[in-house]
Structure 1
């Protein structure tokens, strides 16, 4: 039964959902350090809608008003950049952790789970259009850019939670006349965000709440303006919004936060976009910021049965390059050694059992013995692959930081897919890598800090 719409009043169905409100352009659930938050993206003329939570109506508040934002240069050139237009209103509302049904207009939002046992992990999802790299991925070809297909498959796995490990927006420059992306939206405004993330991710946004991790593509010099408006777990604050280059040190920093998974387990989400890959000297303002983040993460990790820490950069991962036929292994990042490693040179990361990251466009697993958390990388959910595989025999014995030696290693390179985590015990997880046709490519077991994989 539905109430009849009368004289412009709100109309409410039997479920409590408002049926006459404008439908959001996107509706999704973001996990924050203070619990779940519902967000909607509304057309600029539309007011924030009402939510119904277990039959109770609540107003959403404005997070960000429509705006034409100051131009920020891309990493390639100012000439290939433009001002970012956001002709949309972003609304949000906090949701009780025990909420069971949440409606907004004609949408049913995914309810949070008290015990999240099934987690999808994706990263590096956008379609790469970058003039400085002469990279023009065929965004119109679902084989060349399969993120929408991956989102559908990941949603069909029925996760309790989705973890995105960063790099959402890659359409930085005009496509010009390159085949497969002619006419693509580009830049850092809503049209590019919608094309690169919100439209293809829609089935997965509807399937479960998300933990959003910031990638280097969401730095203030790139898509940071949209990051703060649309996805960040932290409040949207003037001066931290990436609009003014003089405030970029502040805009590129946000506090880590923890998301409980039930049963004494948790995810700690870390924003390390300020870190980069090069060494950071003690006199650099970022040095103190990163050390403060490190201390906050250490405090959050205490007293939990299992802690998964996630950021965009793989703190204990490996990468490879092949120039002129010479294979070179890159073990870790200089910035990790100079900041995180300053207080803990071997990066034992007390209280953390597992690290999950992206940035490297492949899947990777590294077991570093009982003194260190295992490192997983899941950066193969759509962005053009451009990595050289690290051979397992060359990986063994490598030290991402001094004293952290790789004991077991596996990788899957030059393919698209996603990773899943399924809890099988108090400190045990099954990790699976899924290919484009749904097949399971790798299956791994995590026991505390140790991990091992098979075909």
Structure 2
């Protein structure tokens, strides 16, 4: 018996199946639920999260048994504190929503909220989506007014829809979720009516609403960026995204607690097959540099030691942090001359005080954001490959990089062997594991079309195209 008509080929059937699955993943949430997702934390522990306007947290169905969700953060309005903006361009942070969570035990086969299945971690994550720097930039000090109302100029929703269609096992966001810090100027149609500040209304429009297809497609590892530091959107970071329990004094509500709230310890997420992802919070580093005695210098020295200890547990490690230690960008100085912006000086100085090679020997590659482009760097020296995926929604960096980067050292002693970049285009990066130490890395544009292909083998990488047009 023929199950498929002669012209109904397997590739077509696979496409239809993917479309059906994608449709199921975006079935409407209950009216009082604003967002739901699964975040992975220490040792890959999975936690279901829900944001709701209901008076109480919902109940999950976990392998056929009811599991009440617990309150992570109750509705509140946080008094205005010192921020990265002037007081007249800041305001209290209003969170008129309930944040709920429930741990999902290892081995869970099915978890659902009101009949809608939640994505569960796989034993081996072979298909990974990497995105970063996703919010819409509204920043008075930089005269940066991205057109948040224009999906062509703020395409994050389209990026997440395309990435969800790729059907990942895992999503890694390398930081900077929130960018709408100041009010849109009067008369600017591109961002007119946009929420701003650090409360829920901004978090919803900048991240949760456009990210919904991808939040529903796979579990997430959420890396903290400098836009989630305590002086910026740290309150929302701790209420919603960080995988650890929310604790008073580590919530960025009071400026006096920032030395606690701005830092957290590294953790590892198993990827299967003798590999893992090490997540390092570098939200409070400084491109200007750090020196002995600075809080950040000591905290990042300690973070290096913890990451190195974690790395010994497996042969292959990907390390995810926001600030590229071994990548670089370009900007304009006050005279409008192009200047190179090399890897983060604060991390190079603190990590380098422990190890002159900057990263633990078992780190295969770094996954970072912060520089608003896609980038790959491989080295002649014994450094891991660097990938930068800060190109998923935020206003892009368009000052051209040099044509010849062979003499550029993004960190002292780091000699470039292979380099590739894409500037001025939005999209996402994927990683498919094809061997114990081998990943196929693909660069997709906002619609999912392939723009570049790379191979990561061991600590070295190379790409088909050096500069994506």
* Residue of structure 1 equivalent to 2:389: 378
* Residue of structure 1 equivalent to 2:358: 347
Q: Does 1:358 align with 2:342?
A: no
* Residue of structure 2 equivalent to 1:332: 343
1:427/1:47 Cα in 2 relative to 1: closer, same or farther (>3 Å)? same
CA distance in 2, matches of 1:348, 1:213: 18
Is contact 1:370-1:449 (8 Å) kept?
A: no
Moved more, 57-66 or 314-323: 314-323
* Residue of structure 2 equivalent to 1:61: 70
1:392/1:376 Cα in 2 relative to 1: closer, same or farther (>3 Å)? farther
1:129/1:20 Cα in 2 relative to 1: closer, same or farther (>3 Å)? closer
Give the counterpart of 2:294 among 284, 291, 296.
284
Is contact 2:328-2:340 (8 Å) kept?
A: yes
* Residue of structure 2 equivalent to 1:273: 283
Is contact 2:381-2:414 (8 Å) kept?
A: no
Q: Does 1:49 align with 2:58?
A: yes
Moved more, 112-121 or 277-286: 277-286
CA distance in 2, matches of 1:142, 1:21: 26
SS, match of residue 252 in structure 2: coil
Q: Does 1:151 align with 2:160?
A: yes
CA distance in 1, matches of 2:360, 2:403: 24
1:204/1:343 Cα in 2 relative to 1: closer, same or farther (>3 Å)? same
CA distance in 2, matches of 1:54, 1:322: 56
SS, match of residue 205 in structure 2: helix
Q: Does 1:399 align with 2:409?
A: yes
Where in structure 2 are the equivalents of 1:28-43 lying within 5 Å? Answer: 28-34=37-43, 35-43=45-53
SS, match of residue 355 in structure 1: strand
1:382 shift after superposition: 0.6
1:135/1:102 Cα in 2 relative to 1: closer, same or farther (>3 Å)? same
1:368 shift after superposition: 1.4
1:348 shift after superposition: 4.5
In structure 1, runs of 5+ residues without a counterpart are 1-18
Q: Size of the alignment, in residue pairs?
A: 435
1:105 shift after superposition: 2.0
Where in structure 2 are the equivalents of 1:219-258 lying within 5 Å? Answer: 219-258=229-268
SS, match of residue 202 in structure 1: helix
Q: Does 1:297 align with 2:307?
A: yes
1:81/1:446 Cα in 2 relative to 1: closer, same or farther (>3 Å)? same
Moved more, 420-429 or 298-307: 298-307
Superposition RMSD on alpha carbons, in Å?
Answer: 1.6
CA distance in 1, matches of 2:388, 2:165: 22
CA distance in 1, matches of 2:356, 2:258: 29
